[in-house]
Structure 1
């Protein structure tokens, strides 16, 4: 097994945790929380998942950048959209930035005041981050064929 293959496996395992956790939240916990208008359901999930989810995100970022460099997509070529793999890396970086914006909104504006009347704001963030995560997973799968 090459080092690149090992890094890919770490990346895929972290993606399974990150995407899987968000799908679980969006599909299983969010509908119940919305139906019952109970933000505690979301807060309890977040409390249990946060350490694992954030660790997975850090691993995803580190291994993603590592593999991008392995493919010759370095910092200097980010956002030039010059090759198929470079397009995928650049789009994934943009989506990562959008994920950070969602996280900032959630942590500083929504979660501190989360209640039964504004739970839909958190639902929008959860659905957005989940959609971004799945999109990043699909984009990553195109690397095998040379990207977009």
Structure 2
């Protein structure tokens, strides 16, 4: 697939992923915390999850495809030898961290949050962490334009 088309898909999906989390952090989370109403978060998650998860899958797919086009195949992941390898490897580490937060939220926090608003601070930590990771990944991706880190 054409590199430019991959980049366009990647950027649109990054906009959806990061933008959705920023909307959650700045648009819904403050109200949920103020009212101690976990349903604000749960309702947003329910609506956002299908488009957000689809975007994340496409982000990973297009990211790996573009990494290969830059010569960073799986053999070079986590070697941090070249500037592009540093970007790809760091983004992969952050992706794994995102997955760990997602699994923790899905299987540990969200089931309890559905019936207990006292879990809002823990969910807030997960939300803020994944959002910050997403923003950092977006910034790291911009360094590819300049040859990497």
TM-score by length of 1: 0.98
SS of equivalent to 2:117: coil
Q: Which runs of 5+ in 1 are unaligned?
A: none
Which residue matches 2:33?
A: 34
For the aligned residue pairs, the C-alpha RMSD in angstroms reads 0.8
Q: How does 1:11-30 map to 2 (within 5 A)?
A: 11-30=10-29
SS of equivalent to 1:118: helix
Aligned length: 147
Once the 2 structures are TM-superposed, how far is the Cα of residue 30 of structure 1 from its aligned partner? 0.5
**Cα distance between partner residues in 1 of 2:119 and 2:78:** 36
SS of equivalent to 2:118: coil
**Cα distance between partner residues in 1 of 2:10 and 2:61:** 9
Once the 2 structures are TM-superposed, how far is the Cα of residue 4 of structure 1 from its aligned partner? 0.3
Deviation beyond 6 Å, 4+ runs, structure 1: none
Once the 2 structures are TM-superposed, how far is the Cα of residue 116 of structure 1 from its aligned partner? 1.5
Q: Does 1:138 align with 2:133?
A: no
Once the 2 structures are TM-superposed, how far is the Cα of residue 101 of structure 1 from its aligned partner? 0.3
**Cα distance between partner residues in 2 of 1:63 and 1:13:** 11
Which residue matches 2:8?
A: 9
Once the 2 structures are TM-superposed, how far is the Cα of residue 119 of structure 1 from its aligned partner? 0.7
**Cα distance between partner residues in 2 of 1:116 and 1:44:** 14
**Cα distance between partner residues in 1 of 2:65 and 2:23:** 28
Bigger drift between 122-131 and 109-118 goes to 109-118
Which residue matches 1:129?
A: 130
Q: How does 1:1-148 map to 2 (within 5 A)?
A: 3-114=2-113, 115-148=116-149
Q: Which runs of 5+ in 2 are unaligned?
A: none
Once the 2 structures are TM-superposed, how far is the Cα of residue 118 of structure 1 from its aligned partner? 1.5
**Cα distance between partner residues in 2 of 1:65 and 1:125:** 25
TM-score by length of 2: 0.97
**Cα distance between partner residues in 2 of 1:44 and 1:90:** 34
